[in-house]
Amino acid sequence: MRILFISSEVAPFAKTGGLGDVSAALPKALAAEGHDVRVVVPYYRRIREAEHPVELVVPPLDVRMGRRILRFSTLRTTLPGTNVSVYFIECNQLYDRPAIYSGDGDEHVRFAFLGLAALRVAQQLGFAPDIVHCNDWQSGLVPVTLRTVFAWDRLFSNTRTVLTIHNIGHQGTFAADVLADVGLEQAAEQLHQEELRAGRLSFMLTGILHANAITTVSPTYAREIQQPEHGVGLDAYLRGRRDVLFGILNGIDDDVWSPRNDALLPATYSADDLAGKETCKRALLDMTRLPYRRGVPVFGIVSRLAWQKGFDLFFEVLPALLRQADVQLVVLGSGEKRYADLFTQLSKVAPRNVAYVNTFSEPLAHLIEAGSDMFLMPSRYEPCGLNQMYSLAYGTPPIVHKTGGLADTVRQFDARNGRGNGFSFEHFDVRGLKWAIGYALECWRDRGAWRRLQHNGMREDWSWRRRVREYAELYRKLAP
C-alpha cells in the first residue's frame, strides 16, 4: 500500500520524545513489509544545521493558506539504513526557529501548514496515497482538509486517513478565529459547531471526528482515554468513535536500540553474556563522575521533565531512598524547572550518589539504558512509553506505575516463581512507589533471581516486526 506519514518529529533528524522514534521505526517496519511509505516532516533549523545530505525534489511553491501565501520547497533524504523517503518541508518563515515546538503565536499556522504542504507534495509527486497517516494534534486537521480543500482532486479519491494519538494531553486547542489562518473558513460547517461557538478550534478533536480510523499506542491507553479520568475532555468523542478506535502497542527499532549491536555503547552484550553490561556501568559512572562500587545498584532515568512522568512522587521518595539505602542515581532530562531543581539539589546533597545531566543527549540515553541496573518510570499516565521497553531489552528492569502502555509491557516480578519482567505499582502515590523500589532492592540482593528477571525482559521480542502487521491490517480494512 502507499502510505503518506505526516509527523512533527522523525528521529534522528528531529526528536523531543517517543514520537520521533516511532515516526522513524514504524515507517521503516512498514517498508520492510513491502509498503511504499513516504514520511513528511518540517525542515527545522536543527535539521538544516546538522547538514544532512538532501536533494531538492520540489522547487519553491507558493501556497495560499487563509490570508497568507507561504513559499516552501521540498527536500528529500532517506531514513538511515533504509530507502524510505523523508520529505522535509522547507519554509524558513515557519520552521527556522530554535525549538521544534516554538510556543509562538503562530504555532497553529506552523502545523496546519505541515499538513497542507504534505498533501501538496503528494500532488507534485503524483503519489496517490491509500492511507494518510496523521500523528497527534499537529496533523489533526489533515483529514478534514483532505475532505474539503482537496475534495476536487481525484488523486485522493481512494485515500483513507488514520490518526494516531500519541498523547491526548496535548490537543492543539486555539481560539476559533484561527480558522481563517488555517485555510478552513469554507469548511467551517464540517467542524464541531458547539466548539466553534464556544470559541475554540481543537486540532486533535477535529482529527478524532474526521479520520477514518483512530489508533493509539497501547491497548490499555485506548481504553483509558475513553474514560473521563484520562480523556482530558475528549473521552465522550472517543467513545462515540469506539468502533474505529484501536490500541496498537508501539515496538522498538532494534537496529538502534539493542544491547547486541548498539553503536553508542563502549561494549555490547546479550542475555547469555552480560559482561559488557558491567563495562557500560563503569563507563556511565565514569562519565557522570560517580564512583564505581561493585554491587551498588544504579537507578537510571531518561525523560522529558513533565507532569505526565510522575516525578512529583520523587520529592518525598528519593531523599528517603538515599538516606536509607546505598544506591546511585543517574538522571538525564530537561523540562520543567521544579523537577530539574529537585535533581540538582539531590546531586548537591549526595554528590557521590546522584548525577544529573540537564540536556538532550542520544548517546547518554543509550548509556543509561545499558549501564543502569534499574530504570525509574513512575508516570501518572503513559500512552505507551518506549523507555521501559528499551530498559527491558537492555537488562535494566523498569520500576513503573501500572498505567497505559506500562501496564501492557511490564509484568510484576515474583521472586518465588521467577515470573515477571519488572516492578509495577498500582496506585499512583508515595507508598506505591516506595513499595516497588523496596521490593526491587530486595530482589537485587538475590543474584540468581535478578539474573532471571533480566533474562525475562531481554528474551522477549519488543521489535516492530511483531506489531507492524496490526497497522497493515487496519490499513487494508479501510481500503475502499
Residues that bind ligand GLC (CB under 6 A): 17-19, 22, 166-167, 217, 250, 382-386, 405
Q: How far is the CB of 361 from ligand ADP (least distance, A)?
A: 5
Among 21, 136, 181, 373, which residue sits at the site for ligand ADP (rule: CB under 6 A)?
Answer: 21
Q: Which entry of ligand ADP, ligand GLC, none binds 326, CB below 5 to 8 A by partner kind?
A: none
Nearer to ligand ADP, 110 or 166 (CB): 166
Nearer to ligand ADP, 90 or 382 (CB): 382
Work out whether the CA dihedral 112, 118, 119, 120 comes out positive or negative: positive
Does position 376 interact with ligand ADP (CB under 6 A)? The reply is no
Q: How far apart are CA 58 and CA 251, in angstroms?
A: 33
Q: Which entry of ligand GLC, ligand ADP, none binds 133, CB below 5 to 8 A by partner kind?
A: none
Among 387, 403, 456, 463, which residue sits at the site for ligand ADP (rule: CB under 6 A)?
Answer: 387
Q: How far apart are CA 147 and CA 157, in angstroms?
A: 10
Nearer to ligand GLC, 204 or 290 (CB): 204
Q: Which entry of ligand ADP, ligand GLC, none binds 286, CB below 5 to 8 A by partner kind?
A: none
Site for ligand ADP in 296-355 (CB under 6 A): 302-304, 332-334
Q: Which entry of ligand GLC, ligand ADP, none binds 217, CB below 5 to 8 A by partner kind?
A: ligand GLC
Q: Which entry of ligand ADP, ligand GLC, none binds 387, CB below 5 to 8 A by partner kind?
A: ligand ADP
Q: Which entry of ligand GLC, ligand ADP, none binds 204, CB below 5 to 8 A by partner kind?
A: none
Among 101, 127, 360, 428, which residue sits at the site for ligand ADP (rule: CB under 6 A)?
Answer: 360
Nearer to ligand ADP, 4 or 302 (CB): 302
Q: How far is the CB of 458 from ligand GLC (least distance, A)?
A: 20
Q: How far apart are CA 370 and CA 388, in angstroms?
A: 12
Does position 385 interact with ligand ADP (CB under 6 A)? The reply is yes
Does position 362 interact with ligand ADP (CB under 6 A)? The reply is yes
Interface with ligand ADP (CB under 6 A): 17-19, 21, 302-304, 332-334, 360-362, 365, 384-387
